[in-house]
Amino acid sequence: MTNYLSKPNKCPVAWEKIKLIIFDCDGVLTDGRIIYGDGRQDIKNFDATDGMGLMLLRHIDLPVAVVTGRTSEALALRCQDLKIEHLYQGISRKLECVNQLLEELGLEMENIIYMGDDWNDIPCMRRAAFSVAPANAHEDIQKQVDMVTKRSGGRGAVRELIEYVLTKKGVHERAINSYLESVTR
């Protein structure tokens, strides 16, 4: 039986092989609070700086996926606004979903970064080349990952990870210049 309370041994990250970043939603893209309005409408708070980070990734052709256990119209709209093509909602077995996505894209686990905040993300995070949890993730989850951001989910954690990845891949300046060029034409 696998001991899920101990961190697995992983190989060093080959940053040039990273081809996809996968995010959970609640607690990562949001602060984790779930607010219901009239008619069970859900309301989520997203961070604008995270959105800018996600836009920067498009300028270096590093796609993003969101895999979440809940279903939310607010998340669907946010992903549409940010042109995130790979959105999977209502997923109880995230590892199966991620494996299917990787097969469709012709990628392997060594090609992904996975950011999550709770036990339902652990199977994916244990196999990803690089795993990340936001500062507000449970302490037991933080012990399992390769990086814990200084910022909390829904409060810039995604942007912090993106800036880190852009730097590690050596494309930070290129991403910013490409973005600025696209908005000044």
Query: In the chain, pLDDT over 70 holds for what percent of residues?
Result: 95
- What is residue 43's predicted lDDT score, i.e. its pLDDT? 84
Classified by CATH at the fold level, domain 15-184 comes out as Rossmann fold (3.40.50)
Cβ contact 97:67 at 8 Å:
yes
Side-chain-side CA neighbours of residue 30 (13 Å): 18
Provide the pairing of β-strand 130-133 with 147-148.
parallel
- What is residue 3's predicted lDDT score, i.e. its pLDDT? 57
Residue 36 has pLDDT above 90, yes or no: no
Please provide the average confidence, as pLDDT, over all residues in the chain: 93
Distance, CA of 166 to CA of 146 (rounded, Å): 17
Domain boundaries along the sequence of the chain? 15-184
Count CB atoms within 10 A of the CB of residue 127: 18
* Full-model pTM: 0.93
Distance, CA of 138 to CA of 131 (rounded, Å): 15
User: What are 82-111's pLDDT values in tens digits?
Assistant: 999 999 999 999 999 999 999 999 999 999
- What is residue 41's predicted lDDT score, i.e. its pLDDT? 76
